[in-house]
A and B are shown apart, each in its own frame.
Chain A
Amino acid sequence: MERVLKLEKMLNGIGAAPGIAIGRAIWWKQIQPVVTEETVQDIAAETAKLAAAIETATAQITELKELTAQKMGEAEAAIFDAHLTFLIDPAYTGEMKNRIESKNKNASWACKQVTTEMHTMLASLDDEYMQARADDIRDVGNRLLLILAGETPFDPKQLQAGQVVIAEELTPSDTAQFPTGLAGMVTQRGSKTAHAAIMARTLGIPAVLGLGEAIDQIENEQTVIIDGNQGQVIVNPTPAKQQEVAVEIQEQQKRQQQALETASEDAKTEDGKRIQVFANIGSPADVETALANQAEGIGLFRTEFLYLENTNWPTEEEQYEAYKQVLQAFGDKPVVIRTLDIGGDKELPYAKLPKEENPFLGHRALRFCLDEPEIFRTQLSALLRASVHGNLWIMLPMVENPAEIRAAKALLDECREALAAKQVAYAEDIPVGIMIEIPAAAIHADVLAKEVDFMSIGTNDLAQYTLAADRGNEKVAHLYDAAHPAVLKLVQMTAKAADKAGILVGMCGELAGDLALTETLVGLGLHELSMSATAIPEAKQSIRKTVTDDASKLAEAVLQLEDGEQVRDYLQSK
């Protein structure tokens, strides 16, 4: 046997989906067929070859589209419509045929040339939407070339449960074919918002993306440890390290399993105060995980996926279907759907939003929607129509003053009237609430509370605005911690204002799922916590161990500390 000294190597990337896993690496590589220029005699045979390849590609993409629609929902599947359109486009496949006929060239050569030209053309346009189509055309072109070469694309059936997929980049065509039970994903390119990241979070497996050139150090069949919390990949871990991680994973699973056994019961504190534990979801595909983890409702349904994964403004029908799907799945349980929160770091290519000097303090979320009533009305109508299928609550993001709430409600009333005129049914008394994420809204919560049925604190933005620190900026990231006492004071102010007004108050930011803070959050007076589904069972356990009086005292003590680090140290020492 070959004796090679294999060294443990640590590679750093971006932790894009949480969790720790260990498994064998498998490279997901699309074969790039070698294309040679040939002069052909039998032109009819060559064009027939092209036509057959187009037909096969159409069948493959249609199947992928259906598969994606089933697994991820219609909105995610829409991306394949663009692929199908290209296959019948005279400037694309039509031009390939031209090249064969006018230049006596082989089909593969014509395909490669035209694809390259179209890719260059689209990528050069000063427009993000068009640039995204450039990737689509390359995807379609590669598929045609593989079919023409008689090759089959990397067969996803080779993938097995327990493996870690290593790839340069993962496209929707790739992830749609993943089997269940994969251990994790690692990619060369990509960020937290990349398609692969969303997919990994949906599947509940860890992902480390954006490894860069370092990814080349991973070879097929090597053992890798992937830590999605820290954004680290360990290649060839020593037996001791493997043992250590295996124990950690086992403990993690055991804890989760134990918590899951009691998760179906409501979470009440020792002295009997009920705290509702909801799930945050990003698309109808997340419903299954939320239900499996016994979410008592949805505390935040982000609707951006409908907009971000679409190539244009989603129609009322598309939105209605997505909302209906989630509402039906949850029956009587509340589903809080947040209206469009675009702008800030979430760009929408087709919206052509002008660049802003300071996007986080700019024209985003509700501010944008109130200025684009047509876009907003489409969403509100879809929500109203879907409301008959379950227990819908509507939540407005980035509210700063009562006038904004009234303006949104006026639009909602207009939509109600329009639907009533068309005799379309909608639920009466849909609760309308707001997100508290601007410090002014927290400070002024007593005034805002008069206009709404519930409030939910979005800690990610609230912390960044309160602390004036961008956690994505490594020079100031250490200043960002949602557990900072100043942020927690705003949480307490909001909770007190809600209690005085007799309305529900919850939290749907990342802090809500931070198990170290659960008791403190109960002590600050929150009624509901909404988090990523997998954190729910353990959060319920923490709540059951809490006594409200002690929690209030703990919260008061925490509010006196200096910063987030002190808060975390203090809570750990308790």
Chain B
Amino acid sequence: MVEKTVTIKNPTGLHARPASLFIQKANGFPSTIHIIREDKEVDAKSLLGLMSLAVKQNDQITIRAEGKDAEQAVESLANFIEDLED
């Protein structure tokens, strides 16, 4: 199991287009991936799950993956979040 905690920096948070792109990226990995914010955990491959977290600017989320490509998955998704600008 691999995990990493990142902070959302972009002002609009993780919704709409960033969220769709995130899901697309997550779906590219066979590993099981989850997103944890506070006490809530959702499937990182579910747009509705991600929306239900209502991730806003300055929120911290943990990306947790299990599977063959868990390491790349966490790395790639964490980078995606850190590179978000708008």
Contacts and interface: CB of A to CB of B under 8 A. Distances in A.
Interface of A: 85-86, 89-92, 94, 118, 121-122, 125-127, 129-130, 133, 137, 311-313, 350, 352, 374
Nearest to A126: B54
Given A89-B48, A91-B43, A374-B86, A311 B54 contact: no
A122 B49 CA distance: 10
Interface in B24-50: 42-43, 45-49
A293 B49 CA distance: 49
How many chain B residues sit at the interface, stated as a range, is 10 to 19
Contact of A90 (B16, B17, B20, B45): B45
A311 B52 contact: no
A130 B16 CA distance: 8
B16 A89 contact: no
Contacts of A126: 54
Contacts of B16: 129, 311-312, 350
Contacts of A374: 86
Lowest 4 CB-CB distances: which A-B pairs, in order?
Answer: A91-B46, A312-B17, A91-B49, A91-B48
A130 B51 CA distance: 8
Contacts of A118: 48
Contact of B15 (A85, A94, A130): A130
Interface in B1-34: 11-12, 15-17, 20, 23
Contact of B12 (A85, A94, A352): A352
Contacts of B23: 85
A37 to B, nearest CB: 23
Contacts of A121: 48, 52
Given A125-B54, A137-B48, 20 more contacts: A85-B47, A86-B48, A89-B46, A90-B45, A91-B43, A91-B47, A91-B49, A92-B48, A94-B46, A118-B48, A121-B48, A125-B52, A129-B15, A130-B15, A130-B51, A133-B51, A311-B16, A311-B17, A350-B16, A350-B17
Nearest to B48: A91
A130 B12 CA distance: 13
A163 to B, nearest CB: 38
B73 to A, nearest CB: 16
B47 A89 contact: yes
B17 A91 contact: no
Contacts of B43: 90-91, 94
